[in-house]
Amino acid sequence: MKLACEQVRESLSLLLYGELSFGEEEAVQSHLSGCAECRAAFETERGWHDSVALAKVEPPADLLVKCRQQLRANLPAAAPEGRMRRWWNELREGIHWGWVAKPALGLALVAVGYLGARLPGAPGNETIAEATARVRYVEADAAGNVRIVLDETRPRMVAGRADDPQVQRWLLAAAREASDPGLRAETVALLQGGAGTLDVRRALVAALESDPNAGVRLKALEGLRRHAGEKDTRQALLRVLGADDNPGIRTQAIDLLTENSPRALDAQMVGMLQQLMRREENGYVRERCEKALRLANASAEIF
Amino acid sequence: MGNCEHWGVTFFHTLRRIEVLNGETRVALTGQTRLAVNLDEASVIRAAQAGDQDAFERLVRGYDQSVLKLAYSLLRSPDDAQDIYQEAFLRVHKNLHQFRFDCSFHTWLYRIVTNLCLDLLRKRKVRKEESTVIETAEGPRDRAELTGDTRASIDPQRALVSGQLRQRIDRVLGELTARERMVFEMRHYEGMRLRAIGEALGTSEEAAKNCLFRVTQKMRVALGDFV
């Protein structure tokens, strides 16, 4: 299929979106390889695609957490079906009764019981609910023995004060590992009160320096506020000042680093702020940086 | 049941939800046998349909970030995005028992979300009231001011150009019809395929393609000389 330049140019966006059929894409690519003008038009098309992609706006960092809290409060209390019955239904749905013998179910049930017993003992503040299970695969041998492998999900509730060591262990794990940024933000907010302990402070510093979500980093920054004078925290704040791509976080890092002794900044701090003045593009951050240097009687320039 | 020892079963616990109630922190965990095997989505939906609030919450958390991003990107207002989020998931909660698996849950949810967004875009004439002001940690700031924050060396010319480009992009987006805006957001920013966009909007892939085509023509005219 030979295409005219006009047809090709109309297809360039769809080509970039990957929405052309195989044949259409072949025809456009073939035309582009032999037409310099259309190749230039393609580059222009790619240019505006990239520019518009960069103009994407993201919701404010804490909006997701707010939405989830509001939804939880607004949801009508549903009448929950008995967990045991639900588990039974799921197990029943998961098994094809036509080809699994009854002894297989017996084996599966005993296996679930065995696996359940391997869980750590549940103290008073911990609840382990019944498991839901699905059959992953079944195999039988000639002698009529059956092996069933189950995937089992077992909800477990740990309750206690936020500084309870068992609760804190899970909070620290979630701050580090949870894939859901809303959950990480809630976790880090709960850890703020325990920033006096080394483990919690390390977790907050780690979240501040490496969490991909700005909302979580802001919560970690709040948690470290009372410890901004300590050496490890200051070093972390200086690193954040130089590396974080969020202007709000850079601004707050400046505030934390300077609010305890604005007139007595050390040489490292002054040097970092002066460097920041050279490369900072955000007007507001520059303003705060300049103010901090002025208060410390330091120059905003590097000579 | 000595055989079970050969299953190589390991328990993994993942933290699912945290609540604070009367000073007590509640940590909900999910323990799983074998490596990170989750219940498939259909099972979660069926559990939520049967009234399991945990399952409903799991379902919400699988999609709510993208719903919020879409709503915020379209409406450019935290309050409006929050309203859409609430209304969408309350509707899902109310009508989940009617979901019959004749389309994907994603499609069903996006139909609700896109209808709500289209209504709001039309009703409030957001495109005419579009503001360049966004919420930041330091309060409302002009988007153009925050543009191009790549932390490279200062280049006032580049900052000026990128600010002007941003304004021009905002203007073109503001001039699109509600439907064009929706299709463009879903394709350009959410990366959805035209077929899925058509399904979410209750129209054909071809109609979504034509709509996208019109938008790209407008973008090319408005931005072609700028890039």
- Domain annotation covers residue B145: no
Whether A139 and A179 share a structural domain? no
Whether B17 and B49 share a structural domain? no
- Domain annotation covers residue B119: yes
DSSP-based three-state secondary structure for A258:
helix
pLDDT at B182 over 70: yes
Cβ proximity of B84 and B71 under 8 Å: yes
pLDDT of residue A176: 83
Least confidently predicted of A66-80, A209-223, B50-64, B176-190:
A66-80
pLDDT at A113 over 60: no
pLDDT at A211 over 80: yes
Distance in angstroms (rounded) separating the CA atoms of residues B135 and A86: 44
Which of A139, A141, A143, A86 has its CA nearest to residue A108? A139
In chain A, the number of structural domains is 4
B79 burial level (CB within 10 Å; 0-12, 13-18, 19+)? exposed
pLDDT of residue B115: 93
**Rg, chain B, Cα only:** 22
Q: Which of B14, B21, B27, B113 to mutate to test the interface with A (most CBs of A within 10 A)?
A: B27
Bridge partner list, B141: B134
In chain B, the number of structural domains is 3
pLDDT at B129 over 60: no
Task: Report CB contact under 8 Å: B30, A153.
Answer: yes
Q: Which two tokens stand for residue B214?
A: 């019109």
DSSP state letter for A179: S
Residues of chain B in contact with residue A50, where contact means CB-CB under 8 angstroms, are: 227
Cβ proximity of B67 and B85 under 8 Å: yes
Residues spanned by the domain of A170? 160-227
Residues spanned by the domain of B99? 41-130
pLDDT in tens, B11-39: 445 666 676 666 666 766 665 443 333 45
pLDDT at B6 over 50: no
Whether B124 and B167 share a structural domain? no
pLDDT at A280 over 60: yes
Report the pLDDT averaged over residues B164-171. Answer: 84
Helix axes A198-210, A214-223, angle to 10 degrees: 150
In A82-111, the residues whose Cβ lies within 8 Å of chain B are 86, 89-90, 107, 110-111
Task: Report CB contact under 8 Å: B223, A51.
Answer: yes
DSSP state letter for B40: P
Note whether ipTM > 0.90 here: no
Q: Which two tokens stand for residue B73?
A: 């990107």
Distance in angstroms (rounded) separating the CA atoms of residues A251 and A103: 66
pLDDT of residue A54: 81
Q: Tokens 């000026």 map to which residue?
A: B160
Q: In percent, how much of chain B has pLDDT > 70?
A: 65
* Summary mean pLDDT of chain A: 78
Cβ proximity of A227 and A233 under 8 Å: yes
- Asked if A287 is an interface residue toward chain B (Cβ–Cβ < 8 A), one would say no
- Model pTM greater than 0.80? no
Least confidently predicted of A22-36, A79-93, B133-147, B192-206:
A79-93
Whether B120 and B190 share a structural domain? no
- Domain annotation covers residue B141: no
Enumerate helices (H) and strands (E) in chain B, giving the number of each: 10, 4
pLDDT of residue B30: 60
pLDDT of residue A127: 67
pLDDT in tens, A164-175: 888 888 888 888
Distance in angstroms (rounded) separating the CA atoms of residues A55 and B76: 12
pLDDT of residue B185: 93
- Domain annotation covers residue B53: yes
The count of other CB atoms within 10 Å of the CB of residue B15 is 22
Could you write out the three-class secondary structure of A65-129?
HHHHHHHHHHCCCCCCCCHHHHHHHHHHHHCCCCCCCHHHHHHHHHHHHHHHHCCCCCCCCEEEC
Q: Tokens 């706006």 map to which residue?
A: A57
The shortest C-alpha distance from A49 to chain B (Å) reads 8
Whether B30 and B63 share a structural domain? no
- Domain annotation covers residue A146: yes
CATH value at residue B78:
1.10.1740.10
Q: Which of B14, B18, B49, B187 to mutate to test the interface with A (most CBs of A within 10 A)?
A: B18
pLDDT at B171 over 50: yes
Distance in angstroms (rounded) separating the CA atoms of residues A223 and A219: 6
Compare all CA atoms of chain B with the CA of A120 and give the residue at the minimum distance: B11
Q: Which residue has the higher pLDDT, B221 or B159?
A: B221
pLDDT at A122 over 50: no
Bridge partner list, B12: B32
Report the pLDDT averaged over residues A24-28. Answer: 92
Residue A104 CB-half CA count within 13 A: 22
Distance in angstroms (rounded) separating the CA atoms of residues A241 and A239: 5
pLDDT at A302 over 60: no
Residue B108 CB-half CA count within 13 A: 18
pLDDT in tens, B67-108: 999 999 999 899 999 999 999 999 999 999 999 888 889 999
- Domain annotation covers residue B104: yes
CA angle A88, A91, A93 (to 5 degrees): 110
DSSP-based three-state secondary structure for A298:
coil
Report the pLDDT averaged over residues B123-143. Answer: 53
The shortest C-alpha distance from B60 to chain A (Å) reads 9
Whether A124 and A98 share a structural domain? yes
Report the pLDDT averaged over residues A109-124. Answer: 43
